[in-house]
Amino acid sequence: MTIKFGTDGWRALMSEEFTIENVKICAQAVCNFMKDREIEENGLIIGYDTRLNSNIFAEAVAEVATGNQIPVILCDRPCPTPVLSYNLVSRECGAGVVITASHNSSEWNGFKFKPSYGGSASEAIISEIETYIFELEKSQKISTMPIETAEKMGMLEKLDPEPTYLNHIAELVNLNRIRNAGLNIAIDSMHGAGSKYLAKLIEGGSSRVEEIRGNPDPSFPGMIQPEPIEKNLEPLRKLLSNSNFDVGLATDGDADRLGLTDEEGNYISTLHTFALICKHLLENLGLKGPIIKSITMTNMINKLGKLHDIDVIDTPVGFKYLGPVMMEENAIAAGEESGGYGFTGHIPERDGLLSGLMILDMMSVTGLNPSDLLEELEKITGPYYFDRKDIAFKEQDREEKLHRISRPTFEHLGALKVLNTDTRDGLKLHLEENAWGLIRFSGTEPLIRLYAEGTSPGQVKKIIQDCRMIVDG
């Protein structure tokens, strides 16, 4: 077996490949990377989510790091990925590891590697680590030290990661404005690592918070996976439809993604959510600078960019692409269709908690509820609709399906003329009427994802259908 890092680290089924032995191989590869870069003295910070045995896998990483004489800071409780990433930067560690499979279903776990800047690792870094992994799979040269020994020797420090992060967030958002806005806020933590964070940040004023699914539960009951998309948010949507709440916020398993519902419990797409956040940054907060978006993100951002005379730059999917461009361009925000959004003054990485606060701040400033905010947005951009369909495939069929999308020869998609194509990440077809369709392979799961955006539901449906015909042949 060869361990391969996808869009954001390595993920595998715990019943098959995600084992203590393989996690230690990944940990040793990180140690070799740190020693070759001569950053081992700065130490390794390690966090984990609420999945089954994530804490044990995290301790295995710590055993390997201290066995390599690398100082370790080990979180003493489940930790959202953005919280770990900010602590990494704040403590000036050499690198970080988070044991999490993010939004994947309960059978999965994962190993996220974070460089010193706290974002997703670049392609070059991932390639280097995978080279070490390939060598270690053959040699099995792994050094370890028991946790108890490492603690006695002063090689391992236990850390509560919350305070440092919460204090930093208080500098980025006007929390007093949110606390005293009189908002009724429903939060769905989806049994993940983000539980209680938003409540702690908001409590203390006239705004009221009610949290559901806030207890850690590695089986993630009642949902397909802890991904804050419409089909997984029925409890939150039901709560809002039957109660007097102003907004619903949901975070995924490691709280780096945000899901949003309006005051009636209607799901708001991740594309509209990011467009709302960008509108808030530009109009209400007066920020000026480029916005970075993945190729799966909405053209509404381009319209906002044109209106405010700022650059909008698109990249392949994944913050390993968005983050570096965000840093290079000194961007005010970056976002992708998955519900992951990053912000200036913070880490170049997704943060579902900060994203939720941005929505609440927008509501506090404008006095508008989410449905009214969407109406205001559409006055500027016009109506946009989006859909995504995921198709499972067998690994032996990968090459055949890759071949089908590698040579686009068609001139129309969904009855719309193809204006140009983009093959940086799958096949994206830019269409007339500001619509587009995209076919790409998931970087974390055995799925082909079909995406479409257009100006009517029927248009989007037809684009998705035609994308499916391309994949199936």
| CATH number of the domain within which 140 lies | 3.40.120.10
Rounded (10°) angle between helices 370-381 and 352-366: 90
Asked if 243 and 221 count as a contact pair (C-beta separation under 8 A), the reply is: no
Pairwise pLDDT comparison (436 vs 405), residue with the higher score: 436
> Same domain, yes or no, for 50 and 96?
yes
Mean pLDDT of 24-51: 97
Residue 173 predicted with pLDDT over 70: yes
User: pTM for this structure?
Assistant: 0.94
Residue 407 predicted with pLDDT over 90: no
pLDDT in tens, 300-343: 999 999 999 999 999 999 899 999 999 999 999 999 999 999 99
> Same domain, yes or no, for 257 and 126?
no
Phi/psi region, residue 69 (left: phi>0; alpha: psi -120 to 50; beta: rest), is left
Residue 441 lies in a domain: yes
Pairwise pLDDT comparison (8 vs 102), residue with the higher score: 102
> Same domain, yes or no, for 191 and 327?
yes
CATH no. for residue 456? 3.30.310.50
CA 206 to chain centre: 31
> Same domain, yes or no, for 226 and 298?
yes
Please state the domain count of the chain: 3
Report the residue count for the chain: 473
Q: Quick one: pLDDT at residue 123?
A: 86
Asked if 301 and 291 count as a contact pair (C-beta separation under 8 A), the reply is: yes
**Residue that terminates a domain, selected from 352, 381, 410:** 381
Asked if 327 and 342 count as a contact pair (C-beta separation under 8 A), the reply is: no
Mean pLDDT of 353-381: 98
pLDDT in tens, 234-271: 999 999 998 999 999 999 999 999 999 999 999 999 99
Residue 419 lies in a domain: yes
Cα distance between residue 445 and residue 11, in whole Å: 8
Q: Quick one: pLDDT at residue 470?
A: 87
Residue 444 predicted with pLDDT over 80: no
pLDDT band at 408 (very low <50, low <70, confident <90, very high): low
Residue 327 lies in a domain: yes
Q: Name the residue range of residue 81's domain.
A: 10-160
> Same domain, yes or no, for 293 and 369?
yes
Tell me the pLDDT of the chain averaged across its residues: 95
> Same domain, yes or no, for 368 and 223?
yes
Mean pLDDT of 170-178: 97
Residue 361 predicted with pLDDT over 90: yes
Residue 165 lies in a domain: no
**Residue that terminates a domain, selected from 337, 361, 381:** 381
Residue 22 predicted with pLDDT over 80: yes
Phi/psi region, residue 53 (left: phi>0; alpha: psi -120 to 50; beta: rest), is left
Residue 100 lies in a domain: yes
Q: Quick one: pLDDT at residue 454?
A: 96
> Same domain, yes or no, for 242 and 389?
no
Residue carrying structure tokens 């948010």: 233
**Residue that terminates a domain, selected from 328, 363, 381:** 381
pLDDT band at 400 (very low <50, low <70, confident <90, very high): confident
Residue 7 predicted with pLDDT over 80: no
> Same domain, yes or no, for 318 and 403?
no
Residue 166 lies in a domain: no
Residue 1 lies in a domain: no
> Same domain, yes or no, for 236 and 297?
yes
Query: Mean pLDDT lowest for which of 8-17, 145-154, 219-228, 379-388?
Result: 8-17
> Same domain, yes or no, for 357 and 462?
no
